C-alpha cells in the first residue's frame, strides 16, 4: 500500500510528511517529524499522554489518523513555549513541582493551556473535570491542579495590568 | 567541617536543605525535550515486536518462523532457544531475588508458557507494521495444559503444577513433592492461642484482593545494539541500569563490562521497572541483524505480561483487652507469585504488625505460583495487602471497644527500642509522632456531613540503604557536576544538587546533577526501596565533603600553610591562622588552576550505605457514600508521614501524595479481571480503572520530621510508605459511613452496593 | 495482511461510491471508536472513508423550532450551541459524558450510535427525545427513528453504502424537559454500566402529559421503557409514579454480567437512575424555553 503525502502546519511551520494510511497523527509526529514530546501511554485514547491541539481543539493524537491532518493546524508541546520563553502553565508546573517522572506532563500542559485559553478563571472542580482525560500515576494530581490554578491567576493578572 | 550527624531536636538552619528550587531536568520535561524509552533512536534502527502466548498454560511443541524470516523487511527472529543454557543462580538485583533461569524464561519461554501473554518469539523489521505482520506468520504449536488462577485452587492437591522443581522453601523438613507453594515465611513469638483466649475482644476476618498493577504511564522500552565484537549498548527506561546490565549479561552469559547501559528518562516505575523483559530479546535481535533494535511494549502487553503486585488472601485475628491493650495477633496470608517464585511474602511478614507492641504474635506468609504474569515489586511490595487486613482488624477493635482509633493506636504503638516482629529493636522511628500529628490536625476534628464517614490507618515500610557511587567534580570555572548512577524517577537530581550545594555552601545553581551510564560511573543499586535520597544522598555528601577538603588542601599548598589553617566558608577558602591569616580565594578563582596544580578535583564516594531507618505513616480519609448506588467519593484525605528530613519538600510531598492516590485506586477500583479461559479481560486503561483527577480532592501531605541520626541531613526513605495505609483507611471510612466493613478489594460501587443491600 | 486505504471525499455521492466499492470499508467521523478497534485488531477495514470533508456534515442549525445536527459534529460543539443546550440539555449532556474532553472534541453522536455498543451514552437521550437519523445511501435518503438503527451489539440496520448524515431533533415542547444520567465506577472516563435518558412534558397544572424513558447498557440494544412512561403520564411525578418508573426500569432489564457490571447491579441501577433522571427532567420542564 503506498504511503500518503500529508501537508499540515505544525507548531506554526508549514510541514509535510509521508505516512501509512492507518498511521496515527501521534506516530507521524514522533516518527516522521521527530517531535517526540507527545507520548504514547496507551494508544487507545484513555490516558491523554498524546494530547495535541488540532485546529485549536485538544485531541488525543493517537485517535487521529495522520492523514486527517491534511491542511490542518497542529500544535504540540514543542510549540507551547514562545521561543525559549516558557508559557505560564509550563512555568507553574516547574514552580509547583507538578511533575515527578514527567511522562504525562506534555499532555497535561497542552490540555491545561487549552482550558485556560477558554476559561481564564476555572474552579478546582472545573480543572479536575477538564483534565480527567489525562492520567498521572506519580503525583495524585494535587500539585498539577495547584499549578494550573496558579497559572490561571498569573494569566489573569497579565491580561488586566494594574 | 562536616554536616552535622547528630540531631538534638532542633533542625539546623540549612541553606538549601528544605528549600524548593526548580529541578535541573525540569525545563526539558515541560517542553517535551526529555528523552524517554521510545524517544531515543539509533541510526539504522530496526523495529522489534514480540509474539505472546494466547494460552495461560501450555507446552510449546514447535515454533516455525520460516515464513516470518522470509518476509521482506524482516531482519531477525528470536526464540528462547537463542539464549544460552543457564545454570540456576539466584541474583539479588532490583527489589527482591530472582533465579536467572526464571528471568531468561520470562523474557522468552522455552518449553512451556506459564501465563497468557508469555513471550515466545520476537522479530526485528524495518517498520513496525512489517514486524507485526511477521509475528502473524510465526506458527507456534501448543499443547494446552490445565491452568490455575486462584490462590486456594493453586494449593489444592490436584492443582496443575507450574514447575516440577519447586519445593516450598522455608518448610522443615523439605517437602518431598513439588507444589505451587514456592515459599513460606514465618515470624513471631509467644503463645498466640493462649493469649487470644484471654482477650476481651478478638477481631477476626478474611481479607481478599486480586493483583493490581503499578500503572506507570510509560510502557517498557529499550534499544539494544550488539556488535560482532561482543560489545553492546542498551538505552532503556529503567529504575536501575546496573540491574539491567547485570541481568542482561547473565541471561546472555557475557561479561557485564561488554554492555554499556544508558538510562533514558523513565516514565514511572514504582518497582515494576527494576527488572528486565525486553533487553535480552532486543540484544539477540540486534546481534542477528547487525543493527540496533528497538523493542517497546504496548499498553496491552504491559498488562498481560509484566509483573503486578500479588493478590492475596489474608486471615487475621487480633485480640485485645477491655482497655484496648493488644494481647495477641495471628496473621496468615497467601500471595500470588504468578508464574515464577517471588519474594513479597518475606516483606509482608515483616510489615504486618511491627507497628504495635503485641506480646504474642505469629505472622505466616506463603507465596503461591499460578498462571498469571510473575509478580514484581510495587511500592512497598508485600506490605499494603497484609496491612489492609491488620488495620481493618484494629479498626474493628476500636469500634467494638468504643475507643478512639488514634488513642488505641497510641496506646499500643511501637517506639524506639521496642521489638520488631523479627525481634530486632526499632531504631529512631517516628510512628507515635505521626499519630500525635494526626490527632492535632484540623482534619481529625472537622465535622462530617450526611452519608460521610472518617477512617484512619497506619503503616510502615522498612526502606533500605545499600550501594551507591557518586562522583563530584569541579569544573574549571568553579561550578560543580554531581554524577550519580541513580535514575531519577521523581526529582532526585534536585535533591542531590541540594545536598551537594549544602556541603559546598554555594548557590544551588552552581551544582548540576546528572545520571551517568554504567560505563561512566561505578555501581549503584536500583532507584527503588526508598533508598536513593538516603544512600545516594550519603555518597553525594561524602564526595562533596571530599571535594571541599581537597580544595582546602590545594589552597593551603598554594599559600604554603598547613592544611588545618584553611577553612571553607560559602565556597571560599580562607586562611584562618598564621602569617597568611586573612588571605582567601574563591572556588571560581582557584578552579582554573587546580588541575595543573596537583590534578583535577574529582572525588568519588562508593559506599554501602547503612543506618537506614523505616518510615511510618498515618492516613485520615473521609468518604461520602451514595447509599443508592454504592459510589464512594473521597471528600478529604490527609497523609501524615515521618520523612526524617525533607531535603526537597515538594518532591517529598509528591511521593506521599502519589503513593496515597495509588493506594486509593487499589482500594476503590483497580483489579485484574480474567475470563474463563485464563485470559486477562481488562488489559487497558479503560477497564483497569486508575484514579482520574475528578475522582480526588487535594491530598494533604503532612511531613513529620524525626531525623535519622545516621544520615548527614537526617533522611529517611519516603517513597513507599504512603501506599501502605490507604487500603484500610478507605475501608475504615466506608465502615464509619455505612456500618458495613468490606473485606474484599476493590470496594467498587457494585461491591459497596451489595454490602449495603445484601445482594450479589 | 491487507493494508487500509484512506479516502476523504467531498460529496455524499462520492462517499457512497467508496463504501459500495469495498464491503469492508468503514465511514470515519470522529474515529474514537473505529481507530481504537483498528488498533486492537477487532476490525480491519480495507478502506476508511472520512466524512469530515463533506460540506454540511458538521454543524448545528435550527429548523422549524427543531434542530438539525450534522453527523460529523463533535460532541463538544453541541455544548456551544445555546439553543440546543437550552432545548435538549439531556441530549447534550449525554453526548458530553463520552470519554474525555479530548475524545469529545472528535467523537460524534453518529459514531456513538452506529458503533452500536449497548452502553452508548448519546443513544438513550436521543431516543427519549424522539430524535430521528437521516441516512444517505445508494437507494437515496431515508429518515428513521434513532432507535431503529442499533440491531445488536456492534450491528446496525444500515445497508451497504449507507451512513448517517444528520440527526433531527424536534422542537422542545412547551413544558418539556429532558435529562440523562449514567452509572460509572469512576467520575469520568468509564463506559456506562447503565444509562438512563428521560424526556417528558408537564402541563401547566403539573401533570405529565408525555414521557419517554430509555435505558442503555441493560440489554443488547437501547430499550424504550413503555411501562415507565405509563407510570408517569397522568401523574404529578409523585413518589408512586417514581416507584412505578423504577420498577418498570428494573423489570425491562436484560443485561449481561461483564467486567463493567453484574446483572443484579445493573438492574438495581436502572431503577435508581431512571428515577433520578425523571426528577431532573421534571425540574427542567418548569423552565421557560
d(CA B501, CA A61): 42
**What's the Cα-to-Cα distance from B373 to each of B117, B341, B347, B386, rounded to whole Å?**
8, 11, 20, 21
Q: Please provide the DSSP assignment of B179-195 as one string.
A: -SEEEEEEEEES-HHHH
Residue C5 belongs to some domain of the structure: yes
Chain C nearest C-alpha distance from A160 (Å): 26
Q: The CATH number of the domain where C67 resides is what?
A: 3.30.465.10
Contacts by B680-683, CB closer than 8 A, 24 or more apart: B680/B116, B680/B117, B680/B303, B680/B304, B681/C259, B682/B303, B682/C259, B683/B299, B683/B300, B683/B302, B683/B303, B683/B304
Nearest by Cα to B689 from B127, B159, B180, B303 = B303
- CB B626, CB B638: distance < 8 Å: no
- CB B314, CB B332: distance < 8 Å: yes
Last residue of a domain, one of C120, C148, C172: C172
Residue C289 belongs to some domain of the structure: no
A4 forms bridges with which residues in the sheet?
Answer: A19
| Neighboring chains of A (3 or more beta-carbon pairs < 8 A) | B, C
Sort out which chain B residues have CB atoms less than 8 A from A18's CB and list them: none
- Least CA distance to C77: which residue of chain A? A57
Q: pLDDT for C115-166, tens place per residue?
A: 999 999 999 999 999 999 999 999 999 999 999 999 999 999 999 999 999 9
For residue C258, the model assigns a pLDDT of: 87
Q: Which residues contact B8 (CB under 8 A, 6 or more apart)?
A: none
d(CA C210, CA C191): 29
C5–A133 CB contact, under 8 Å: no
Q: Which residues contact B680 (CB under 8 A, 6 or more apart)?
A: B116, B117, B303, B304, B672, B673, B674
**What's the Cα-to-Cα distance from B591 to each of B476, B484, B513, B573, B602, rounded to whole Å?**
5, 22, 19, 12, 12
Do C29 and C152 lie in one domain? The reply is: yes
For residue B1, the model assigns a pLDDT of: 40
Last residue of a domain, one of C129, C152, C172: C172
A22–C106 CB contact, under 8 Å: no
A45–C100 CB contact, under 8 Å: yes
Do C93 and C75 lie in one domain? The reply is: yes
Other C-beta atoms lying within 10 Å of the C-beta of residue C229: 21
d(CA B513, CA B515): 7
CA atoms within 13 A on the CB side of B10: 2
For residue B540, the model assigns a pLDDT of: 98
- CB C230, CB C241: distance < 8 Å: no
Q: The CATH number of the domain where C190 resides is what?
A: 3.30.390.50
If you average pLDDT over residues B81-109, what whole number do you get? 92
Do C25 and C125 lie in one domain? The reply is: yes
Q: pLDDT for B116-160, tens place per residue?
A: 999 999 999 999 999 999 999 999 999 999 999 999 999 999 999
- Extents of the domains making up chain B: 465-609
For residue A118, the model assigns a pLDDT of: 97
Sort out which chain B residues have CB atoms less than 8 A from C3's CB and list them: 129
Q: Which residues contact C261 (CB under 8 A, 6 or more apart)?
A: B750, C183, C193, C194, C217, C255, C269
Q: What is the dihedral of CA C107, C109, C114, C118, to 10 degrees?
A: 100
Residue C2 predicted with pLDDT over 70: no
Q: What angle do CA B465, B469, B475 make, to 5 degrees?
A: 135
Size of interface A-C (CB pairs under 8 A): 91
d(CA B308, CA B496): 30
Last residue of a domain, one of C156, C172, C188: C172
Do C190 and C138 lie in one domain? The reply is: no
d(CA B317, CA B389): 9
Say if pTM beats, i.e. exceeds, 0.95.
yes
Q: pLDDT for B666-683, tens place per residue?
A: 999 999 999 999 999 999
CATH architecture of B465-609: 2-Layer Sandwich (3.30)
Nearest by Cα to B278 from B118, B107, B125 = B107
Straight-line distance from the first to the last Cα atom of chain A, in angstroms, rounded to the nearest whole number = 60
- CB B458, CB B431: distance < 8 Å: yes
Nearest by Cα to B400 from B623, B202, B194, B192 = B202
- Find the domain containing C186 and state its range: 176-284
Q: Helix H segments across B37-127?
A: 66-70, 100-107
Locate C3 and state its grid cell: 493494508
Straight-line distance from the first to the last Cα atom of chain C, in angstroms, rounded to the nearest whole number = 55
Q: pLDDT for B512-568, tens place per residue?
A: 999 999 999 999 999 998 999 999 999 999 999 999 999 999 999 999 999 999 999
The model's confidence at residue B424, banded by pLDDT at 50, 70 and 90, is very high
Q: pLDDT for A26-50, tens place per residue?
A: 999 999 999 999 999 999 999 999 9
- CB B440, CB B493: distance < 8 Å: no
Locate A94 and state its grid cell: 516547574
The model's confidence at residue B96, banded by pLDDT at 50, 70 and 90, is confident
Residue C50 belongs to some domain of the structure: no
pLDDT in tens, chain A (162 residues): 689 999 999 999 999 999 999 999 999 999 999 999 999 999 999 999 999 999 999 999 999 999 999 999 999 999 999 999 999 999 999 999 999 999 999 999 999 999 999 999 999 999 999 999 999 999 999 999 999 999 999 999 987 765
Residue C277 belongs to some domain of the structure: yes
A58–C187 CB contact, under 8 Å: no
B30–A93 CB contact, under 8 Å: yes
A105–B661 CB contact, under 8 Å: no
Rounded mean pLDDT of chain B? 96
Percent of chain A clearing pLDDT 90 (strictly above): 96
Which of A51, A77, A102 to mutate to probe the B interface, most B CBs <10 Å?
A102
Count of structural domains within chain C = 2
A138–B268 CB contact, under 8 Å: yes
Do C5 and C147 lie in one domain? The reply is: yes
If you average pLDDT over residues B601-616, what whole number do you get? 97
C48–A65 CB contact, under 8 Å: yes
- Least CA distance to C50: which residue of chain A? A68
B91 forms bridges with which residues in the sheet?
Answer: B98
Q: pLDDT for B266-296, tens place per residue?
A: 999 999 999 999 999 999 999 999 999 999 9
Q: pLDDT for C17-34, tens place per residue?
A: 999 999 999 999 999 999
* CB-based contact, C40 to chain A, within 8 Å: yes
A140 → closest Cβ in B219, B658, B685: B658
C185–B757 CB contact, under 8 Å: no
Instruction: Please name the residue that has the C-alpha cell 458503533.
Output: C115
Q: pLDDT for B700-750, tens place per residue?
A: 999 999 999 999 999 999 999 999 999 999 999 999 999 999 999 999 999
Domains and CATH numbers, chain A: 4-79 (3.10.20.30), 88-155 (1.10.150.120)
B326 forms bridges with which residues in the sheet?
Answer: B320
Residue C214 belongs to some domain of the structure: yes
Sort out which chain C residues have CB atoms less than 8 A from B131's CB and list them: none
Do C155 and C223 lie in one domain? The reply is: no
| Neighboring chains of C (3 or more beta-carbon pairs < 8 A) | A, B
Locate B315 and state its grid cell: 486471615
A58 → closest Cβ in C5, C39, C101: C101
Do C125 and C20 lie in one domain? The reply is: yes
d(CA A30, CA C222): 40
Chain B nearest C-alpha distance from A52 (Å): 12
Ranges of beta strands (E only) in chain C are 5-7, 26-28, 47-50, 60-63, 66-70, 132-137, 140-145, 150-152, 155-156, 163-169, 176-183, 194-202, 208-216, 223-224
The model's confidence at residue B8, banded by pLDDT at 50, 70 and 90, is low
Residue C132 belongs to some domain of the structure: yes
**What's the Cα-to-Cα distance from C46 to each of A65, B119, B162, C2, C164, rounded to whole Å?**
15, 30, 43, 7, 20
| Neighboring chains of B (3 or more beta-carbon pairs < 8 A) | A, C
d(CA B751, CA B14): 50
Q: What is the dihedral of CA C181, C185, C190, C194, to 10 degrees?
A: -40
Do C99 and C221 lie in one domain? The reply is: no
Do C232 and C141 lie in one domain? The reply is: no
A100–B658 CB contact, under 8 Å: yes
B629 → closest Cβ in C186, C262, C269: C269
B749–C185 CB contact, under 8 Å: yes
Residue B490 predicted with pLDDT over 90: no
The model's confidence at residue B699, banded by pLDDT at 50, 70 and 90, is very high
Do C180 and C154 lie in one domain? The reply is: no
- Least CA distance to B487: which residue of chain A? A101
A128–B694 CB contact, under 8 Å: yes
Rg (CA), chain B: 27
Amino acid at each position: 500500500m503506498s504511503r500518503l503525502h500529508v501537508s499540515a502546519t505544525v507548531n506554526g511551520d508549514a510541514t509535510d510528511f509521508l505516512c501509512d494510511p492507518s498511521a496515527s497523527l501521534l506516530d507521524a509526529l514522533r516518527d516522521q517529524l521527530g517531535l517526540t514530546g507527545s507520548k504514547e501511554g496507551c494508544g487507545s485514547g484513555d490516558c491523554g499522554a498524546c494530547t495535541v491541539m488540532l485546529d485549536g481543539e485538544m485531541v488525543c493524537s493517537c485517535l487521529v489518523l495522520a492523514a486527517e491532518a491534511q491542511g490542518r493546524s497542529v500544535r504540540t508541546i514543542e510549540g507551547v513555549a514562545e521561543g525559549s520563553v516558557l508559557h505560564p502553565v509550563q512555568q507553574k508546573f516547574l514552580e509547583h513541582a507538578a511533575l515527578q517522572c514527567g511522562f504525562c506532563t506534555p499532555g497535561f500542559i497542552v490540555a491545561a493551556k487549552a482550558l485556560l485559553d477558554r476559561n481564564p478563571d476555572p474552579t478546582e472542580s472545573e480543572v479536575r473535570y477538564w483534565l480527567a482525560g489525562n492520567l498521572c500515576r506519580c503525583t495524585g494530581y494535587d500539585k498539577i491542579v495547584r499549578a494550573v490554578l496558579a497559572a490561571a491567576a498569573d494569566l489573569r493578572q497579565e491580561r488586566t495590568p494594574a | 567541617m562536616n554536616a552535622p550527624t547528630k540531631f538534638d531536636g532542633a533542625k539546623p538552619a540549612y541553606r538549601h536543605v528544605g528549600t524548593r528550587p526548580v529541578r535541573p531536568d525540569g525545563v526539558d520535561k515541560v517542553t517535551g525535550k526529555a528523552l524517554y524509552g521510545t524517544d531515543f533512536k539509533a541510526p539504522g534502527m530496526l523495529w522489534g515486536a514480540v509474539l505472546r502466548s494466547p494460552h495461560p498454560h501450555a507446552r510449546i511443541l514447535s515454533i516455525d518462523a520460516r515464513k516470518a524470516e522470509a518476509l521482506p523487511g524482516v531482519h531477525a527472529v528470536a526464540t528462547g532457544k537463542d539464549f544460552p543454557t543457564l545454570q540456576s543462580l539466584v541474583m539479588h538485583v532490583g527489589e527482591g531475588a530472582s533465579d536467572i533461569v526464571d528471568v531468561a524464561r520470562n523474557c522468552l519461554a522455552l518449553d512451556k508458557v506459564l501465563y497468557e501473554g508469555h513471550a515466545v518469539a520476537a522479530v526485528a523489521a524495518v517498520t513496525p507494521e512489517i514486524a507485526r505482520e511477521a509475528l502473524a506468520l510465526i506458527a507456534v504449536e501448543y499443547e494446552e495444559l490445565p491452568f490455575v488462577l486462584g490462590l486456594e485452587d493453586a494449593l489444592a492437591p490436584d492443582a496443575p503444577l507450574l514447575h516440577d522443581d519447586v519445593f516450598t522453601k522455608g518448610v522443615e523438613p523439605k517437602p518431598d513433592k513439588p507444589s505451587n507453594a514456592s515459599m513460606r515465611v514465618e515470624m513471631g513469638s509467644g503463645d498466640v492461642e493462649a493469649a487470644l483466649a484471654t482477650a476481651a475482644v478478638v477481631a477476626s476476618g478474611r481479607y481478599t484482593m486480586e493483583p493490581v498493577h503499578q500503572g506507570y504511564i510509560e510502557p517498557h522500552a529499550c534499544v539494544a545494539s550488539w556488535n560482532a565484537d561482543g560489545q553492546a549498548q542498551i538505552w532503556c527506561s529503567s529504575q536501575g541500569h546496573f540491574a539491567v546490565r547485570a541481568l542482561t549479561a547473565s541471561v546472555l552469559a557475557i561479561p557485564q563490562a561488554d554492555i554499556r547501559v544508558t538510562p533514558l528518562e523513565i516514565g514511572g516505575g514504582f518497582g515494576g521497572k527494576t527488572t528486565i523483559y525486553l533487553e535480552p530479546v532486543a540484544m539477540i535481535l540486534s546481534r542477528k541483524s547487525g543493527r540496533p533494535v528497538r523493542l517497546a511494549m504496548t499498553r496491552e502487553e504491559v498488562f498481560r505480561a509484566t509483573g503486578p503486585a500479588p493478590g492475596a488472601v489474608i486471615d487475621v485475628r487480633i485480640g485485645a483487652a477491655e482497655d484496648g491493650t493488644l494481647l495477641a495477633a495471628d496473621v496468615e496470608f497467601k500471595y500470588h507469585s504468578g508464574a515464577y517464585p517471588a519474594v513479597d511474602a518475606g516483606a509482608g511478614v515483616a510489615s504486618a504488625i511491627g507497628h504495635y507492641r503485641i506480646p504474642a504474635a505469629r505472622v505466616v506468609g506463603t507465596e503461591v505460583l499460578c498462571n498469571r504474569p510473575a509478580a514484581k515489586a510495587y511500592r512497598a511490595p508485600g506490605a499494603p495487602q497484609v496491612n489492609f487486613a491488620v488495620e481493618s482488624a484494629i479498626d474493628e477493635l476500636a469500634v467494638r471497644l468504643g475507643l478512639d482509633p488514634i488513642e488505641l493506636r497510641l496506646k499500643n504503638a511501637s517506639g524506639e527500642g521496642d521489638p520488631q516482629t523479627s525481634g530486632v529493636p526499632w531504631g529512631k522511628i517516628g510512628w507515635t509522632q505521626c499519630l500525635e500529628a494526626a490527632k492535632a490536625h484540623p482534619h481529625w476534628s472537622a465535622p462530617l456531613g450526611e452519608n460521610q464517614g472518617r477512617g484512619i490507618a497506619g503503616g510502615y515500610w522498612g526502606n533500605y540503604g545499600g550501594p551507591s557511587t557518586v562522583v563530584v567534580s569541579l569544573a574549571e570555572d568553579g561550578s560543580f557536576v554531581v554524577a550519580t548512577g541513580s535514575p531519577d524517577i521523581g526529582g532526585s537530581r534536585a535533591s542531590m544538587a541540594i545536598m551537594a550545594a549544602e556541603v559546598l555552601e554555594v548557590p544551588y545553581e552552581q551544582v548540576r546533577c546528572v545520571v551517568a551510564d554504567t560505563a561512566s560511573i561505578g555501581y549503584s543499586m536500583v532507584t527503588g526501596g526508598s533508598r536513593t535520597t538516603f544512600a545516594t544522598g550519603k555518597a553525594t555528601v561524602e564526595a562533596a565533603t571530599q571535594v571541599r577538603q581537597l580544595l582546602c588542601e590545594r589552597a593551603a599548598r598554594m599559600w604554603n600553610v598547613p592544611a588545618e589553617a584553611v577553612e571553607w566558608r560559602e565556597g571560599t577558602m580562607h586562611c584562618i591562622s598564621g602569617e597568611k591569616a586573612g588571605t582567601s580565594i574563591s572556588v571560581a578563582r582557584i578552579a582554573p588552576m587546580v588541575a595543573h596544580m596537583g590534578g583535577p578535583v574529582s572525588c568519588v564516594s562508593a559506599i554501602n550505605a547503612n543506618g537506614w531507618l523505616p518510615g511510618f505513616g498515618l492516613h485520615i480519609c473521609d468518604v461520602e457514600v451514595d447509599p443508592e448506588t454504592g459510589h464512594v467519593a473521597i471528600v478529604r484525605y490527609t497523609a501524615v508521614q515521618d520523612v526524617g528530613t525533607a531535603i526537597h519538600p515538594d518532591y517529598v510531598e509528591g511521593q506521599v501524595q502519589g503513593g496515597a492516590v495509588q493506594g486509593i485506586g487499589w482500594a476503590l477500583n483497580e483489579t485484574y479481571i480474567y475470563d474463563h479461559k485464563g485470559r486477562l479481560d481488562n488489559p487497558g486503561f479503560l477497564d483497569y480503572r486508575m484514579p482520574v483527577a475528578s475522582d480526588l480532592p487535594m491530598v494533604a501531605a503532612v511531613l513529620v520530621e524525626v531525623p535519622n541520626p545516621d544520615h548527614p541531613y537526617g533522611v529517611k526513605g519516603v517513597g513507599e510508605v504512603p501506599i501502605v495505609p490507604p487500603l484500610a483507611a478507605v475501608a475504615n471510612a466506608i465502615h464509619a459511613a455505612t456500618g458495613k466493613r468490606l473485606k474484599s478489594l476493590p470496594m467498587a460501587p457494585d461491591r459497596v452496593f451489595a454490602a449495603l443491600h445484601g445482594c450479589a | 495482511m491487507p493494508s487500509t486505504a484512506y479516502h476523504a471525499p467531498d460529496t455524499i455521492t462520492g462517499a457512497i461510491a467508496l463504501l459500495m466499492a469495498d464491503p469492508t470499508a468503514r465511514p470515519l467521523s470522529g474515529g474514537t471508536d473505529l481507530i481504537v478497534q483498528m488498533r486492537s485488531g477487532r476490525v480491519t477495514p480495507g478502506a476508511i472513508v472520512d466524512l469530515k470533508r463533506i460540506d454540511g456534515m458538521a454543524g448545528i442549525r435550527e429548523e422549524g423550532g427543531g434542530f438539525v445536527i450534522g453527523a460529523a459534529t463533535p460532541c463538544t460543539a453541541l455544548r456551544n450551541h445555546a439553543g440546543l443546550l437550552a432545548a435538549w440539555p439531556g441530549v447534550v449532556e449525554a453526548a458530553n459524558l463520552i470519554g474525555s474532553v479530548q475524545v469529545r472534541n472528535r467523537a460524534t453522536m453518529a459514531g456513538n450510535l452506529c458503533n452500536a455498543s449497548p452502553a452508548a451514552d448519546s443513544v438513550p437521550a436521543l431516543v427519549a427525545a424522539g430524535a430521528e437519523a437521516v441516512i444517505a445511501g445508494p437507494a437515496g435518503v431515508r429518515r428513521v427513528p434513532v432507535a431503529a438503527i442499533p440491531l445488536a451489539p456492534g450491528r446496525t440496520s444500515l445497508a451497504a453504502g449507507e451512513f448517517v448524515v444528520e440527526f433531527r431533533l424536534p422542537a422542545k415542547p412547551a413544558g418539556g424537559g429532558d435529562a440523562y444520567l449514567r452509572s460509572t465506577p469512576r467520575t469520568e472516563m468509564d463506559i456506562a454500566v447503565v444509562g438512563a435518558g428521560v424526556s417528558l412534558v408537564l402541563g401547566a397544572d403539573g401533570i405529565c402529559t408525555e414521557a419517554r424513558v430509555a435505558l442503555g447498557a441493560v440489554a443488547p440494544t437501547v430499550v424504550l421503557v413503555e411501562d415507565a412512561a405509563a407510570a408517569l403520564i397522568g401523574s404529578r411525578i409523585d413518589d408512586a409514579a417514581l416507584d412505578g418508573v423504577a420498577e418498570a426500569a428494573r423489570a425491562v432489564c436484560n443485561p449481561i454480567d461483564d467486567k463493567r457490571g453484574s446483572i443484579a447491579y445493573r438492574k438495581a441501577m436502572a431503577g435508581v437512575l431512571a428515577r433520578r433522571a425523571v426528577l431532573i427532567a421534571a425540574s427542567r420542564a418548569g423552565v421557560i424555553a
